[in-house]
Amino acid sequence: MLRNPLKIINQGFLTLGLCLILGIGHRAFGYQNSQLSNECDGDTVDRMGSDLARESREFLKQLKTAALSNRKTKVAGMVHYPLKVFVDNSMHQIRSPAEFVSDYERIVTPHVKKALLDQSVKCLFGNTDGFMVGDGEIWFTEVSKSTLKIVSINTNAVP
């Protein structure tokens, strides 16, 4: 039995249209995934306002520099206390800069440092909860006007 050629063509166009929508539509929702796009235009942070976008990128630059050079006291000063730290599938609270420095190696693990190293300043993800480094290894947010601080570190985050 012969199929209707117009119906086959219409189904093909419908399928192609859906693929195109799905292929580019992920950016409309702020979703960034290297499988979907190898290029980032930084639009998730930019949608939060130019001042906050600039401040969040600058904060990330300073955090990367401090953490990757093991400047524990500097990183401790970039934290909002109590800090939520997720280690071994449980949440701990770090209540002071002294406690943070004392537990630095358990908090800023090689996995967390790698997430920082790999995080592009331009492609920083941001939403109403704050700014996410990597796959959620670090979250920071604006705690007061123009003051950004780390609010959680997740050593369990997996790509």
pLDDT in tens, 71-103: 999 999 999 999 999 988 899 999 999 999 999
Q: Can you give the pTM of this predicted structure?
A: 0.73
Count CA atoms closer than 13 A to 73's CA, side-chain side.
0
Closest-CA residue to 107 (of 92, 119, 120, 122): 92
Closest CA to 110 of 62, 68, 64, 158: 68
In the predicted structure, residue 157 carries a pLDDT above the cut 90: no
Is it the case that residue 34 has pLDDT exceeding 50? Answer: no
**Mean per-residue pLDDT over the chain, rounded:** 81
Distance CA 123, CA 126 (A): 9
5 has pLDDT over 70: no
Class of domain 40-154: alpha beta
What is d(CA 56, CA 51) in angstroms, rounded to the nearest whole number? 9
Contacts of 42 (CB under 8 A, 6+ apart): 53, 122, 123, 124
pLDDT over 70 at 33, yes or no: no
